[in-house]
Every structure is written in C-alpha cells, then in structure tokens.
Amino acid sequence: MAFFIKILVFLLRIWYRLYVFRKAFENLILYTRTNMSNASLRDQVARLATTDPEAAYERAKRIDAPWYRTQALSHVAKHMRPDAKSIKVLKESLQTAKSQDDPYAVCASSAWPIAVLIQRAQYKLAATEVKEAFSLSARIENRGSRAHALLFLPSPYPQIKRAFGIIRIKN
C-alpha cells in the first residue's frame, strides 16, 4: 500500500511540474506574441513614415504598448515637415512615454522623442524633458538600470550636447 502511495505522490509531483511548466510557457508565448506584434507595428510605422507620415501617425496610435508607441510616434514626427503638427506629435510621444508606471521605462523611452526635438532644434523643450528624465531617474532603484537609463538618453545622439548647455546639472 505504501508503495502505491509513493508512486501516486511521485506521479502527482511530475504532473504538477508539467502543469507549472505549461503555464509558464503559455505566458511566455503570450508575452512574446504581444510584444512582437507591437514591435512589428512600430517597424511598419517607421517604414511607412518615410513615405506617408499621416498614415503612419494613424497606425502608430493603434499600438498598445507605450514603449513601442513612443518610438513609433517619434519616427512619425521625425519624417513630418518641421511645423507645429510635428511638435504636437512629439509632445504626444513624450506623454505616451510618461504614461508608463516604471521610471526606467519613462526615462529610457523618452530618448526617442528628445532626440527628434534636438534634431528639430527645439533645444528648450528638449532640455526641459532631459531635466525631467534626470530627476525621474532618482526613482529607479536598481543602480545598473538607473545608469543605463541615463546613458541611454544621450549616448546615440551627439547633438544633445547642445541641450546640455541649456541645463544646469547640480551634483
């Protein structure tokens, strides 16, 4: 009798591990599908923005994930004529970045619209946004993530040095 109980317990443990593994795998697949669809939409918007920024803007607004929507809107604004509408799209992109709960995500995803602001010579607005990103970075608990968010902001964009001339960073 004890032998059968041991076998039953052994089989239940195996079944439970398989069940947990299956659930974890399903969640991973769901996460990948969601992010891949958002990433692929962002890539489509980036390609479409070069030829038809208005259609790209409409498609960018349909992206669910704020991280990818911020990037897509920045691509759209980058390829629009430099006028009030492109600045409006950049402000929308910044608002989308700020809608995220994670301070790291806000700081890091703000890099795209800030870069386009700098390319558009909107230095004061860019400086204000960089200043906000720096102050928000203090809320990122993990120091490595904080450093990455701060480095991510200026590193791909040498033009940001102009914006730093406007900002007074206090130690």
pLDDT at 37 over 80: yes
| Tokens read off for 11 | 């089989």
Are residues 106 and 100 in contact, defined by beta-carbon separation less than 8 angstroms?
A: yes
For residue 170, being part of any structural domain is answered with no
Query: pLDDT digit string (tens) for 85-124?
Result: 889 999 999 999 999 998 999 998 999 999 898 888 888 8
Instruction: Look at residue 164 in the predicted model and tell me its pLDDT.
Output: 53
Q: Does residue 17 fall inside a structural domain? A: yes
Task: Read off the pLDDT of residues 114-162 as tens digits, 9 standing for 90 and up.
Answer: 989 888 888 888 888 888 988 888 898 888 888 888 877 754 445 555 5
Q: Domain holding 79: CATH number? A: 1.25.40.10
What is the DSSP secondary structure assignment for residue 154, as one 8-state letter? T
Q: What is the pLDDT of residue 76?
A: 95
Which amino acid type is present at position 158? P
**What one-character-per-residue DSSP string does 71-117 give?**
HHHHHHHHHS-SSHHHHHHHHHHHHHHHT-S-HHHHHHHTHHHHHHH
Q: Would 122 be classed as within a structural domain?
A: yes
Indicate whether 146 belongs to any domain: yes
Contact 97, 56 (CB under 8 A): no
**Tally of CB atoms within 10 A around 61:** 14
163-to-84, 123, 125, 155 alpha-carbon distances in Å: 20, 5, 9, 13
Claim: this prediction has a pTM higher than 0.75: no
Residue 18 lies in a domain: yes
Mean pLDDT of the chain: 81
Domain that holds residue 142: 2-164
Domain count within the chain: 1
Average pLDDT over residues 17-36: 62
Q: Provide the 10 A C-beta neighbour count for residue 11.
A: 10
Give a yes or no: residue 171 inside a domain. Answer: no
Asked if residue 149 lies in contact with residue 102, where contact means CB atoms within 8 angstroms, the answer is: no
Contact 107, 70 (CB under 8 A): no
